[in-house]
Amino acid sequence: MDEIAREYPLIECNLTKLGHNAREIVSRCAARGISVTGVIKGFNGDPRVAAVFRDCGVDGLATSRTEQIAACRAAGIPGPYMLVRIPMPGEAADVVSLADSTLASEMPTVRLLDAECARQNKRLGILLMADLGDLREGFWDKGELVEAAAETEALSNVDLLGVGVNLGCYGAVVPTPENLGALAEVARSVEARIGRSLALVSGGATTSLPLVLDGTMPARINHLRVGEGILQGKDLSDLFGLDMSFLHLDVFTIKAEVLEVKRKPSRPVGRIFVDAYGYTPEFPERGVRRRALAGIGKLDFAYCDMLKPREKGISVLGASSDHLILDAEDYPGELKPGDVLEFDARYAAALFATGSRYVRFVCTR
* Residues catalogued as catalytic: 41
Give, as one character, the DSSP assignment of residue 102.
Answer: E
198-211 in b/e form (b: 16+ CB < 10 A) is bebbbbbbbbbbbb
Q: How far apart are CA 328 and CA 76, in angstroms?
A: 46
Taking each helix axis as running N to C, give the angle between helix 177-194 and helix 142-154, from 0 to 180 degrees, rounded to the nearest 10: 40
Buried b / exposed e over 70-107, threshold 16 CB at 10 Å, is ebbbeeebebebbbbbbbeeeebebbbebbbbbbbbeb
Query: CB of 54 within 8 A of CB of 26?
Result: no
DSSP states of 21-77: HHHHHHHHHHTTT-EEEEE-GGGTT-HHHHHHHHHTT-SEEEES-HHHHHHHHHTT-
Torsion sign, CA atoms 222, 228, 231, 235: negative
Length of the chain in terms of residues written: 365
User: Please, which residues have CB within 8 angstroms of residue 5's CB and are 6 or more apart in sequence?
Assistant: none
Q: Is 35 exposed, middle or buried (0-12, 13-18, 19+ CB in 10 A)?
A: middle
330 Cβ neighbours under 8 A, 6+ residues apart: 312, 313, 314
93: helix, coil or strand?
Answer: helix
Among residues 324, 292, 290, which one has the least CA distance to residue 307?
A: 324
Tell me how far apart the alpha carbons of residues 170 and 69 are, in angstroms, rounded to a whole number.
Answer: 24
| Whether the Cβ atoms of residue 1 and residue 255 lie closer than 8 Å to each other | no
